Amino acid sequence: MKTRSALLLGSLSAALVAFALTSPRVVAADKVDPVADAKAFQNFFFQKFPDVKHEDFVNGPYSMNADMKRQWQEKEEFPPYEFALDAGKEMFATPFKNGKTYADCFPNGGVGIRQNYPYFDEKEGKVVTLELALNRCREANGEAPYSYVKDEMASLTAYMAFTSRGKPMDIKIPDDPRALAAFENGKRYFYTRRGQMNFSCASCHVQSPGERIRAEVLAPALGILNAMPIYRSEWSGMGTTSRRFVTCNSQTRAVPLEPQSDEYRDVEYFLSYVANGLPISGPGARP
């Protein structure tokens, strides 16, 4: 009888200790902690690809495949995004009808600031991306907004990214529950499966970077936005971050959301924040 009581007491104590040890973990896991998330995110890729230099992740599939990297480096001598870059530079300097320019809408005249976008606007309570800020600038100066997915918007963001090349991504999350909610919402969007293919962003860019999907080599999620906007041979032209999200959704057979919807802004916030410290490499070129 004594043995049975001792066993029972022992089991109960073990269960209590186990509960005490695991319950804080559960609470911690449910708390929004962007710093811990970014650290875990980066470590995952650094450990999965120990031979890839950290700053090389921003080069997407080229960081995963030596042959592709060599071809890309040769292509970079006459990069396919050069026309967009030149057009963007000219557009950026050309005054609106009211005489003002894009430089009047941005800190530091819009030069070398790409690494700070997207940011959380505490006044609006929402994430503001570079594309959104550019169109707001146009509208504030009496100009019609551009399409978010290509052409002029891609050219403008290409030029702005170019002026930030090499600068480390530097996204801030203010101590504001709405900013934390936006980060968490972006994270949820990134990991949520959607479309008839039942794919999440992570299915390709976390679980399978470096693997082939048909003829393409999948890029790692880490630093994936640092190269935006990109010239894609598949598109025969330039595309913005918005275009990338829209086409990714379509490829999983999900109806894409409207460009610059809250979800897309939030997932851009999440992906950019977890790439903090990695250099801006845009505009980029991809197969």
Binding site residues, other proteins, CB under 8 A: 29, 37, 40-41, 44, 187-188, 191-196, 198, 200, 202-203, 206-207, 250, 253-255, 257, 263
Q: Are 45 and 218 in contact (CB under 8 A)?
A: no
Nearer to other proteins, 33 or 143 (CB): 33
Is the Cβ of residue 37 or residue 216 nearer to other proteins in the bound state?
A: 37
Shortest Å distance, C-beta 29 to other proteins = 7
The least CB distance from residue 109 to other proteins, in Å, is 38
Query: Least separation, in Å, of the C-beta of 43 and other proteins?
Result: 8
In which element (H, E) is residue 224 found?
A: none
Pairing of strands 230-232, 237-239: antiparallel
List beta partners, residue 285.
231
Nearer of residues 29 and 66 to other proteins, judged by Cβ: 29
| Residue with Cβ nearer other proteins (160 or 204) | 204
Tell me how far apart the alpha carbons of residues 37 and 272 are, in angstroms, rounded to a whole number.
12
Residue 273: CB minimum distance to other proteins, A: 14
248 given a catalytic annotation: yes
Long-range contacts of 138-142 (CB under 8 A, 24+ apart): 138/96, 140/105, 141/96, 141/97, 141/98, 141/100, 141/104, 141/105, 142/96, 142/97, 142/98
Q: Please state the three-class secondary structure of 175-210 as a single string.
A: CCHHHHHHHHHHHHHHHCCECCCCECHHHHHCCCCC
Distances from the Cα of 128 to the Cα of 110, 161, 213, angstroms: 15, 16, 32
Active site residues: 248
